[in-house]
Each structure stands twice: as structure tokens, then as C-alpha cells.
Structure 1
Amino acid sequence: MNASDAVAGGNDDLRRRLDWAVKIAREAGEITLRYFGAKIEVERKSDDSPVTVADREAESHLRRRIAEAFPDDGVVGEEWGTAEGSGAYRWILDPIDGTKSFIHGVPLYGTLVGIVYQDRAVAGVARIPALEECVYAAEGMGAWYTRGEMPPQPARVSSCDRLAGSAWVTSEVANFDHVGRRDAFFRLQKAARLVRTWGDAYGYLLVATGRIDFMIDPLMQVWDAAAVAPIIREAGGRFSDWKGVYSFSSGNGLGSNGLLHDEVLAVLAAVLPETAAPEI
């Protein structure tokens, strides 16, 4: 069953792109699995983040496949930069979100494919190749979850409405230090029931499927956020930057079940200076 078999509503242009995104995310994920657990060279980019041949090969594949089906669309990718398009749609790609997990043989990395229309994130796919889990969504079409060969099931956020009873995740505690916000981490850790670092794409998949109540990123690039923002919203939750604005380009992010969102924002605002987290 493909994405079009599951979703209803929405426009045909977006539906076709979502269906293609689900397909090529699976293909790119299979490329990463060829290298997963193997000894491969790890390079360092200018920002000291790691990159491997798997990242580059998977993104190259995604770009080729997008060009085959939607040659007028623009593409922005973590590894190969920006290719301008002549239409209103852009694809935002992160072939391996969680490269640090990937290079250590930890299966919690993901392939992210986001679709943007006129600067609004409108659809996305988050696939966890090593676990065969996938969640995808488009505006007006709902959010859907699959695992292995299981038919798509509606993805829904949790019903937890008390911060004291919540479980939340983040990618790295050190990222709070990078923006001078370690105090925010400790306040939320103290206020919640449980915190873990099951982060990157997998953290947002956990929120969208109701297993975790919210996910926080102090540092977030556009290719980290464009896919997950519509997924969280269509799953019944809320995605925003740390000032409560629906954005995939603010440099930070909060994805929640919606019920806890304002309470978490209030904790962040209590220690947030007048200027938000720095642009990256």
C-alpha cells in the first residue's frame, strides 16, 4: 500500500509528491543500510559535524529521483546544498538525521524528506531505516505510521496533559549549552516525569505516534525541521520554534502533543532572553 492509498483529501499535486517522498525515502534508507554497522570513513564538515559516504550517496539518490518526477521543483539538502527550481515547491532533505548514531551502529537514525510550498512546510516523511518504522503526513491528509510490511495506520500524539506526568526527549544535552540554555534543560528535567536522548528524527516519530509527549531541539537546521513540522501537526500535535511560531527555519524547535505545548513554552520563556536562540 502506498501513501495515496491511505490518505484522503488535500490537493493532487501535494498527494503525488507525498507518495513519491515515501517511496524515495525508503530507497534512500536502504542505501544507508548497506553501510550501517560497517567500518567506513568519517569526515568532519566545517561545523565539525560528521559525514560519511552513506550520507552523500543517499542524498544524491534522493535528488536524482526528485528530478525524474518533479524536474521543476527546487531542492535543499544537507550534503549537496541548494538547487533552485522554477515552481513553488521545494524538497528539503536530510539523508541521515542522526549521523552520530549511524556511525556508532545505533539504529535510531532517520531519513527525512520535507516538502515546502511557498515557504511553508506542508508535507514530510521520517523513516527510520534500521527499525523499518516510518511516519509521513501532508496538510489536510493526516499523519500515517508504518512498521515493516504493516499497512499504514493513523499516527496520533499522546493524551498526556500534565508536564509532571510527561516524558520528553532531545537529541543532545550539549546542544542546550551551545545556545547558553542548560538551565532550560534542568528546569524541564525537574518538571517532567522522564527525559531521554532518543532524539533526532526518531524523537519526532515517537511524538507523532504517542509514545513520547514532546521533543525539544535547541539547535535545528531547516533539513531537520521541514519534514517533522507537518508530521507533528497532522498527528494532532503542535510544532513551533521556542517563541511559539510555526516555522522550520527559526534555528530551534519544539514538537509536542499540543496539550503540553504552552506549558513547555512557558518554562522556556522563563529563561529565554529577549533575543531567541541564535540563527544558525
Structure 2
Amino acid sequence: MDARSLMQAAEEVARKSGDVALGFFRQGVQVHTKGDGSPVTVADQTAERTAREWIESRFPEDGILGEEFGETRPGARRRWILDPIDGTKTFIRGVPLWGTLVAVMEGDTILAGAAYFPPVGDMLVAAPGQGCWWNGKLTWVSAEAELSRSLVLVTDERFQTHPERGTGWRALSAKSSVARTWGDCYGYLLVATGRAEVMADELMSPWDAAALLPIIEEAGGVFTDWSGKRTAFGGSAIATNAVLAESVRQVLGATKGP
């Protein structure tokens, strides 16, 4: 499949599974705790099953890696990376800042990514060389060059897993115009569409980040892990517009990688 076809496929499966999750939103679903201490609901599981069924029916030789049901056909040439509800804690609280993430990759290369935000009706989709599309129109990161006029975002400012990174975050937020915790994938939506300049996460799984790298890059931004390496699989993430990329990472204490 060409890049445009993969973008369309990623968008379709994100929309289908996200709409399934939306059907459970604010319906008082029961919450369970997974082995890693994170919450899960029937909405997460049903939405991922929907995505898997869609992929299996159309691309039966492809692999699938999902947050809720693990990996299928790990040796496959092409794989789909799924996060049915990115921001489950937000979902549980009835806050509409969660999304559904779908990425397609071959080897270490991400071929397309889609991020769907069902409660607010926003869709982002991108593929290398194809641009980043927001609700059917091309979108770009902001051109803001001054931290003092920037909006910076983080999922959880406590930095419980990597407290040393909290020092950098506090320095960055002090230099910014506005600092908010509009986190999880919603923060990356704001960066990709030019409404925020920085989004940072201390801890990211592959299904959290894979769709976001092409979205940020095709919108003209920079996506790295906390070491400054261009990757969606470094366990952390910093997304910025292009003009602030270097200065933001310096303030955060992120080193410039290859």
C-alpha cells in the first residue's frame, strides 16, 4: 500500500475503535487495575478488539501490538500499534481530553499515524512526505520563537518516575507564558495544530508515542525522547515546534541525539 492508503486505513480504524470507546464515555464503566498498576475498563478492551478485528479482516498477515491484548505475529514485516484510549484516567473522570492512537510501521520505520479525539471530534493523520492533516486540512506547528510567549504542556508535573526531569520542567514552565497539564495525546494535538509550543512526557510506551511522531514531524515540529533522540520508542517524549526545539531541550536537560 502507498502512504496515502495507509493514512486512510489508520484513520478509518482509529475512528471506528474511538467511536466504540465513546459509546462507553460517561456511562459509569467499572474500572479494573492491571498488573502494572494502571487502570483499564471494558471501553479500552472493546475498542481494541474492534480495531484488531478490522485489521485482521483486511491485513491478515500484519502484526498487531496493542496496549490491552499484547502482540500478535511479532515477526510480521508490517505491524499496527494500537492504543484504544490514550488517557484512560482522563476517560474515567469524564474529561474529554483523551484519544485513540493508531500507527502502522515496517521494521523501525513508522509509515503512518492517526490520532482521533472522539469527544471533541478532532482527527489528526500523517505519513512521511504526506503532511499532517487536521480534520481534512493541512496543519502546522506554531512559528513562536520566544519561550516567554509559549504555552508548554505536560501530562503529570509531579515526575514521579523520573524526578530529576521535574527540575527541567519547572525551569521551562517558569520561562513560559502559560504552563498547563493538558496531557496525554491531547497535548500533542495542540502542538501539531499550532495552539501550544511544547508537550513533554516522562514515561511513554510504544503505543503511546508511535502515532505521534509522524504527526508532529509532518506538521513541521520535532519529536524526540528525553535524551534528544528522534524516536517514538525511547520511553519518553518531547514534542516542540521547530524554532524552539533546541532551546527547549536545553532547558529541560535533554541532550541532542542522532
SS of the residue 1:35 aligns to: coil
Residue 245 (1) aligns with residue 234 (2): no
Q: Which residue of 2 aligns with 1:179?
A: 162
Q: Which residue of 2 aligns with 1:59?
A: 48
Give deviations 1:65-123, integer Å, cap 9, x for gaps: 11111111111100000112554221110000000110111000000001112112231
Q: Which residue of 1 aligns with 2:127?
A: 138
Within-5 A mapping of 1:73-92: 73-84=62-73, 87-92=76-81
Checking the alignment, whether the CA contact within 8 Å between 1:44 and 1:51 is kept in structure 2 is yes
Within-5 A mapping of 1:85-124: 87-124=76-113
Which one of the candidate residues 37, 51, 56 is aligned to 1:48? 37
Give deviations 1:155-213, integer Å, cap 9, x for gaps: 11001111121111111112x23212221221111111111111111110111100011
Checking the alignment, whether the CA contact within 8 Å between 1:163 and 1:192 is kept in structure 2 is yes
SS of the residue 2:239 aligns to: strand
SS of the residue 2:23 aligns to: helix
The size of the alignment, in residue pairs, is 255
SS of the residue 2:5 aligns to: helix
How far, CA to CA, are the matches of 1:47 and 1:179 in structure 2? 17
How far, CA to CA, are the matches of 2:34 and 2:76 in structure 1? 31
Give deviations 1:26-45, integer Å, cap 9, x for gaps: 11111111110111110011
Which one of the candidate residues 183, 192, 200 is aligned to 1:199? 183
How far, CA to CA, are the matches of 2:220 and 2:214 in structure 1? 10
Residue 35 (1) aligns with residue 24 (2): yes
Checking the alignment, whether the CA contact within 8 Å between 1:121 and 1:226 is kept in structure 2 is yes
Letter in 2 for 1:242: W
Structure 1: stretches of 5+ with no match in the other structure: 1-11, 147-151
1:14 Cα deviation after fit = 3.1
Residue 72 (1) aligns with residue 61 (2): yes
Structure 2: stretches of 5+ with no match in the other structure: none
Checking the alignment, whether the CA contact within 8 Å between 1:72 and 1:86 is kept in structure 2 is no
Letter in 2 for 1:128: F
* TM-score, L = length of structure 2: 0.95
Q: Which residue of 2 aligns with 1:256?
A: 240
Checking the alignment, whether the CA contact within 8 Å between 1:108 and 1:128 is kept in structure 2 is yes
How far, CA to CA, are the matches of 2:150 and 2:5 in structure 1? 37
Give deviations 1:125-147, integer Å, cap 9, x for gaps: 0100011101110011111001x
Q: Which residue of 1 aligns with 2:151?
A: 167
SS of the residue 1:177 aligns to: coil
1:225 Cα deviation after fit = 0.4
Letter in 2 for 1:221: S
Letter in 2 for 1:253: A
How far, CA to CA, are the matches of 1:13 and 1:153 in structure 2? 20
* TM-score, L = length of structure 1: 0.88
Residue 156 (1) aligns with residue 137 (2): no
Q: Call closer, same or farther: CA 1:118–1:210 in 2, change over 3 Å.
A: same
Letter in 2 for 1:179: H
How far, CA to CA, are the matches of 2:70 and 2:55 in structure 1? 15
How far, CA to CA, are the matches of 2:66 and 2:3 in structure 1? 20
Q: Call closer, same or farther: CA 1:85–1:15 in 2, change over 3 Å.
A: farther
Letter in 2 for 1:37: R
Letter in 1 for 2:27: A
Question: Which range moved further: 111-120 or 48-57?
Answer: 111-120
RMSD over aligned CA atoms reads 1.5
Which one of the candidate residues 209, 216, 219 is aligned to 2:200? 216
